[in-house]
Structure formats: structure tokens, C-alpha cells
Amino acid sequence: MEFSAKQIAELLNGKIIGDSDIKVSTVSKIEEGFAGSLSFLSNPKYIQYLYTTKSSIVLINNSFVPEKEVQSTLIKVEDAYHAFASLLEIYNQQKSHKEGISGDSIIEDSAKIGEHVYIGANSYIGANSLIGDQTKIYPNTYIGDNVKIGNKVIIFSGANIYSDCIIKDGCTLHSGVVVGSDGFGFAPQNASEFKKVPQIGNVIIEESVEIGANTTIDRATLGSTIIRKGVKLDNLIQVAHNVEIGENTVIAAQTGIAGSTKIGKNCMIGGQVAIAGHITIADNVKAGAKAGIAQSVKKEGVILQGIPAIELRNFWRSAAVFKLLPDMKHQIDNLERIIGKEKGE
């Protein structure tokens, strides 16, 4: 798949300096550029590579003026970094364009399939399920009964969507994602036995959510586990039953959220954060890596760190004391010896 400098400039509303007919078929870092690739320059640290790169085309900011001759064709844009990101998105959409239903897939007669859909080999679509227009379901994917999947959804290979779940428009689920598995509900019967509590709810994933590889989202015991619009979940995250995650919240890998917790809008949760069940976290809260959030966070916009999690400023004050503990222990031991001698012990 090739693009000429002229085509790229038209897409990005840019100005060409050099050969408008030169073509590229891939992208590269500016310091590792080669013929046929496109790079970008936005960070001043990399200016030196502009004069040595072998990239055929380089995107640069309108405000940048080269100090010496450049071999590559330049395309000037308002913001080279954002222009490059936009170009990558267009490139990725065209590269991953697929359509058609594999003869190796199994689709129940009562399922409804939209237009321009891709369903890969060995995939299963359950009874009464609905697949929206332009959705892509990659090979070896399981879609249970009564599942509703919206338009332009991408579900990569090996994902499992259990019965009755809802995935709305524009979502992306990466390989190994499990949506709608049973919540962890067991009622103790005696000292050594537990009785499983049936989990009869579902999972609702709203528009433009992206879920990383091997993340699991449990169905509700009753009602719904809800992932609101625009949420981004990293790989290897556990979302328990009846959790609600607010709009545009982002959560990094290996975080675990216990049941019935509600997380607000626009939160940022770091890696390996542990969040207890049945609590509420306010909007715009940030939690640093490995924080342990054991109780509700009512104040919006706070930054948390530590186990148990406390506000960042208090955490750093505490950390300053932690560092002194060995010396303080040594001083206390010396004082005890001196006191002991004075008492004749």
C-alpha cells in the first residue's frame, strides 16, 4: 500500500517541500529512516537526524526552518506529532480492512449480521445475537446467545463474549478478552464449603471503549456491570461483578477492581492498583502504581499513592520518615543501652 507525498499532504492539509510524486509504503523513526518510509520530527532532540535520515518523506512543523539542506521530501503541517498520529490511524484502518464471512465460522440461524461485516474462521455467533455494520470479528472468537454488538466494533482473535452482553459502537476488544464471565459470588455454608450464587446479570460496554488483551469483565450478579463511553482498559485487568467505570477513565495493566465499586469520570489509575469492593471513587481522581484503595474517595481530583492509599503530598511526607526509620531504630537501641547501664541493668 503506497501513498505519494501529494496524497499525504492533501490528507493532512500540508505543504510539500521537495518531490510531490515520491511514494512511501511504511513508517519509521527518523533516526532509523530508510527509502520508502515516512517519519516525523516534532521533538528538538531529534533535529540532527533530519539531515542524515534516509526516510523518503518527513513531516515537520510549519514553524520549523531547516538550517541546511535536507535530502528527504518535507511536508509542513501545523503539528507534526498529531499529523503523524492521524496518518497512522488512516494507515491502520486501510491495512486492517477486512470483509466477508468465513465458511469455517458457525452462525446460528436466529442471529442477525449487519452489512460489510468480517467474521473470521472458527468463530461462533450464538442464537438471537446481533452484529452491527462494519464490525470485524477475528478468528476463533466466541459470541454467546442474545449478545448485541454495535457498528464498527473490532474483536480480535480468541475473545469470548458471554450471553446477554452488550457492546456498543466503535469499541475494540483485543485478543483474550473475556466479557460476561461469572462474578466471584460464593455464599459460605459452613467452615469448609461455599455455595455458588448464580450470576444472572450482564455487561454493558458503551461507545468507543478499548479493552486490552486478556482483560476480564465479570457479569453482574443482578443488573449490569457497566463500562462507560470512552473508557480505555490496558491488558490483564480484572473488573468484578456490578462495577461501574465512568466515562473516559483510563486504567493501566494488572489493576484489580472488586465487586460493586463505582469509579468516576476522567480518572487515571496506574498499574497494579488494588481497589476494594463496594466503594465509590470521585471524578478526576489519579492513583499511582500499586496503590491500594480500601475506602471511598469523595474528593474530586486528588492524587493517591501507597498502601493504604493516601493523598500524594502526605505519601511523600510519610516516605521521608520511612527512610529515617533504620537510623531512628539505631538511635533508640543506643538510648536503651545507655539507660540500661545507668540503671545498672
- How does pLDDT run across 252-264, given as a tens digit for each residue? 999 999 999 999 9
d(CA 154, CA 131): 11
How much is the mean pLDDT over the chain?
A: 94
**Architecture, CATH, for domain 3-95:** 3-Layer(aba) Sandwich (3.40)
157 neighbors 141 (Cβ within 8 angstroms): yes
* pTM of the complete model: 0.84
pLDDT at 66 over 70: yes
Q: How confident is the model at residue 59 (pLDDT cuts 50, 70, 90)?
A: very high
Active site residues: 241
On the CB side of 28, CA atoms within 13 Å amount to 19
d(CA 159, CA 148): 15
DSSP 203-234: EEE-TT-EE-TT-EEEPPSSSEEEE-TT-EE-
pLDDT at 343 over 90: no
The whole-number average pLDDT for the span 198-212 is 97
Record the cell numbers describing residue 135, joined without a space. Answer: 464490525
Measuring CA to CA, how many Å separate 1 from each of 67, 94, 192, 289?
33, 9, 62, 41
d(CA 78, CA 278): 47
What SS3 class is residue 54?
coil
- The more confidently predicted of residues 143 and 96 is 143
**Tell me: the pLDDT tens digits for 282-321?**
999 999 999 999 999 999 999 999 999 999 989 888 888 8
**Tell me: the pLDDT tens digits for 89-139?**
888 777 778 899 999 999 999 999 999 999 999 999 999 999 999 999 999
Looking at residue 190, its pLDDT comes to: 81
d(CA 273, CA 287): 7
The region that residue 218 occupies, defined by phi over 0 for left and psi between -120 and 50 for alpha, beta otherwise, is: beta
Looking at residue 345, its pLDDT comes to: 60
The whole-number average pLDDT for the span 57-79 is 95
pLDDT at 199 over 80: yes
What SS3 class is residue 132?
coil
pLDDT at 240 over 80: yes
Domain locations in the chain? 3-95, 159-308, 316-345
Record the cell numbers describing residue 193, joined without a space. Answer: 464449603
Given 2.60.40.420, 3.30.365.10, 2.160.10.10, 3.10.310.30, which CATH number is that of 159-308? Answer: 2.160.10.10
pLDDT at 175 over 70: yes
